Structure formats: C-alpha cells, structure tokens
Structure 1
Amino acid sequence: MAWTRLYDEPEPQRVNRWLAQNGVCSRREAEGLIAQGLVSIDGQRVDDVGRKIEPGQTLTLADVAQAALESSMTVIVHKPVGVVSSQPDPGQVPAVRLLTREALYGPAATIPDWDSRLAPVGRLDMDSRGLLILSEDGVVAKAVIGPDSNLEKEYMVRVTGQITEKKLTMLRHGLQLDGRQLRYAKVKVVEGQLLRFVLKEGRNRQIRRMCEMVELNVVDLFRVRIGTLRLADLPEGRWRHITPAERTALISPPQRAPATT
C-alpha cells in the first residue's frame, strides 16, 4: 500500500524537509524520489524538488518508493568483548565480520558481505558487549545518533569500588566530560555491584569515564536496549535483521503525554 499522509501543519513546508522530519527518509532521498516522479500531492505528481506542501493537502509516495526505502538494511548484533564496532586496527575483528549465514539468528532473505555499507550506529567499545546496530539506513542513523535524538540507551554495568548514594547522585546529574555538562542519567543499583544506566547521549567511553570520576571501576558493560529496540534473547555473537515494526518504532518520535490541569 502506498504511503499517504495528510499535512496538518499550520504553515507550508518543503516536501523533502517534512518527509525527513517524519522519519520517512532523508532530505536527499526525498529529492531523489521527487526526481523519479514517485511523489504526488492531491493526486498530482511533484516535479520540483523545492515544492512546498500546503495545510490540508495529502502527500502520497508510490508503492515502488516505499519498497525502495524499506529495502535499506539494518541489523542488530550481540557484540562480544574483543570485537570492535568499526575501523579495526591490524589484527582486530570488526563487528561486520560477524554477519555470516552461520551466525544468523532467525530468517533473512539477504546476507550482507564484508564490503557492505553497513555502518555502526552508536558507539560500543571493544571492551564492552551487547546490542550494536549496523545500518545503511540514514533515517535510522539520524534517529539513534543524530543531534536531536532523544532515544534512551540502557546498560547493565558491573563495577568494583564502594557504591554510595553520593556517588550515585553525581553519576545522575553532577559530572562534566571534556568541559561539557552531561545530560541527566538514570542510575540505580540492581544488586550488589551491578548498576543500571539509562542515558540519552553516547559520548566516547562515557560510562567508563563517569565511573572513574567517582572512583568506581567498570569490569563489565553490557548494552541491552536502544530506544524500543531490545537485545532480548539474541545469543552472543549472533545477528538478525530488524523488523519493519521495530524500524517504525525506532524512528518515530516519542509521543508526549497530554498536559494535565
């Protein structure tokens, strides 16, 4: 079924910008679809890449356009310790090398090769393990690591050192890295020396550096969730394609709760 949506914003807006804001595709992809004659407004084909859509008008993407957008591959990997996300040094194993038919978990029509354009979406250093997204989908990448991303990233972190309420308070909203204040983090004790971190940013080795600043040492860092996407029962070293429903949930902006009086 063709993608169709009524434009209900108060002011006119360029078609490519509106499609990008709604997570349908990037602006460049939208311009490509317009150039191919695959976009229409109120049943009339859009030929101008600078065309604006007016309030009350309906935009439609042709079936072939929707199929092309959904064909961009995104997979999740349960990355083990010792595997790097990307850009390996000599002797290191990049995560994309795990994407073999033997390591596939569940069905897949396509098996990426080692020269695929799949790139890591979000950092997960060599000493950490868990959920890693690899994607060639620019919309997914923007939703997860774009400057306006508000997605939560959840980690289970085992530490050594004394855990105190003062240290937990500092981890939640009292630290700076590289001269910049960190965003508020959710940090709680699960049991013993195991902490749960929920962040909305992903600075380089952020959790490890945060813990060092309060005299805690990370001995295991395990990412279990990005937004609505969970590692769940995916075994270590295995991978799978994300489903269309998972992609939609990942790229859709969270709905704000209605104001109460």
Structure 2
Amino acid sequence: MQTKRLNKAISETGYCSRRAADKLIEERSVKVNGEIAGLGVKVTASDVISVYDQVITKDVENIYLVFHKPVGITCTTDTKIRGNIINYINYPERIFPIGRLDKPSEGLIFMTNDGDIVNKILRSKNNHEKEYIVSVDKKITESFIKKMANGVPVLDTISDPCKVEKINEYTFKIILTQGLNRQIRRMCEYLGYEVQKLKRVRIMNIALGNLKPGKYRSFTERELQVMNHLVGHSSKTEEASR
C-alpha cells in the first residue's frame, strides 16, 4: 500500500498546511491509530489520523461541489462564527471552501474534501481565472474601465493587469487571476466608486450558471476532467514557496 509523509496526509485533508501540520506534530498533538506520532512518520490510506483527539481522516471519496454562496454567509470553517459556510451548507461529509468570497458578496465557490486540489487552485502564480459581475454606485466611464484593467494601487502593491468590460452604465465584468483581499472593492474604492453588488460567476472552466443562491451541485465528470488538466502542472503550496 502506498505511503506518504504524515504532514502531507494532514494537509490533504484540508485541516491545515504542511508547515502547520509539522508544528502540530512537534507539539505532540497528532496521533496515528491512537498513538502519538513524530516528525517523519509515514502513513497509508488505512491509517486513522487524529488532531487533538479528533479524527480528521475518513474513507470517503473526493467531493467537489459548486456552491452559490448567498450574501451574508462567511467563508470560514470555524463553526463558532455565526453564518459560517459549513453550518449553512450542512453537507453530510466534512468539506471546506476553496478560497474565500467576502460576506457582502455572492456567487460561485468550490467546496471539497480534497486538500491537494485546494493548494493547486489557490496559488495565484498559477493564473487561474475568476470572473465577476460588479455593480457600482455611479456611472462607469471609459477612464474607469481602462484604469481597472491596467492596475491600481491595492494593499501596498499594484493590481495585475486584468480583463474589464462594461456591461451597462453601472455594471461591469472583470476577470482576475489575483486573489488579493477584497481586491475588487478596494480597486473600485481607489477610483472613487463604491461596489453595490458583487457576484462571482466563474472560476476557471466552471460557471455558476442558473444555480440559485444557497444551492449546490456536484462537478460534472467533464468539469472535473478539465479542472484536473488545468491544475495538472500547478505548483502546490510547499513547491511554490521555495
């Protein structure tokens, strides 16, 4: 049976990063089959891993969901936070969101139990597209579109060039490959606009379509095939940080 390092096995459950897993192991907070595990331990798919005596492994197939997050739901796995996405979706297996979509925004977010694909998708250097429809508080000018597309100061950096298209006087479409915190809202604010509505409608090859707020569906076989192809050469967390 194939083996892997314990820290990798923990990260692939989505519980935490490999680096954080190493700290947990050093703190003697991780057990394998009921025994405290040390650094460098290797495990198989049949081993039961627990952190703080909570089992984090389970013999479940990989789950990939397309979820339409409503406004007001927080993308956190901390179930103590009111309105958290985990309690809201109430899925029968342990899953977690890939990335974030801020509380006032709505739209597409992936939910999964596959920590490996999370690492690949989240690396901004992998240039995975995310598409949004945004409504603002005043009329959109050509100057606004051009500046948004070329990049504006955001969080002590300049946003990367991106695709921006005017839909009507108050609404535009933007396609990002970055993932800065509240990026679109901050970009608009810098240019004197306030976002009234923000909806993510696509991530990479998967579109939100007609999925209603609060509903979810599984990836189709074709969507998963294309996704795996797109992330096939992506850097994982540790590889990309070197």
- TM-score range (shorter-chain normalised) is 0.5 to 0.7
Q: Which amino acid aligns with 2:70?
A: P
Runs of 4+ in 1 over 4 A off after TM superposition: 87-91
| 1:146 partnered with 2:123 | yes
Identical columns (%): 29
Query: Which is further off, 236-245 or 202-211?
Result: 236-245
| 1:165 partnered with 2:155 | no
Where 1:198 maps in the other structure, the secondary structure is strand
Contact 1:142 1:149 in 2 (8 A): no
Where 1:78 maps in the other structure, the secondary structure is strand
Q: Residue 220 of structure 1: CA displacement?
A: 0.3
Q: How does 1:168-183 map to 2 (within 5 A)?
A: 168-183=145-160
* Unaligned residue ranges in structure 1 (runs of 5+): 1-15, 17-27, 37-67, 101-110, 256-261
Contact 1:140 1:250 in 2 (8 A): no
Matches of 2:92 and 2:161, distance apart in 1: 37
Specify the alignment match of 2:207 in structure 1.
230
Aligned length: 188
Q: How does 1:56-95 map to 2 (within 5 A)?
A: 71-87=61-77, 92-95=82-85
| 1:241 partnered with 2:221 | no
Change (3 A) 1:146 1:251: farther
* Unaligned residue ranges in structure 2 (runs of 5+): 5-17, 19-41, 46-58, 233-242
Q: CA-to-partner distance for each residue in 1:204-246, whole Å, 9 max, x for gaps?
A: 1000000001111100000000000111121111112223322
Q: How does 1:6-45 map to 2 (within 5 A)?
A: none
Specify the alignment match of 1:112 in structure 2.
92
Q: TM-score, normalised by structure 2?
A: 0.67
Matches of 1:174 and 1:73, distance apart in 2: 36
Query: Aligned-residue CA RMSD in angstroms?
Result: 3.4
Q: Residue 90 of structure 1: CA displacement?
A: 5.9
Matches of 2:219 and 2:155, distance apart in 1: 35
Q: Which amino acid aligns with 2:205?
A: T
Q: TM-score, normalised by structure 1?
A: 0.62
Structure of larger gyration radius: 1
Matches of 2:126 and 2:120, distance apart in 1: 6
Q: Residue 91 of structure 1: CA displacement?
A: 6.0
Q: Residue 193 of structure 1: CA displacement?
A: 0.5
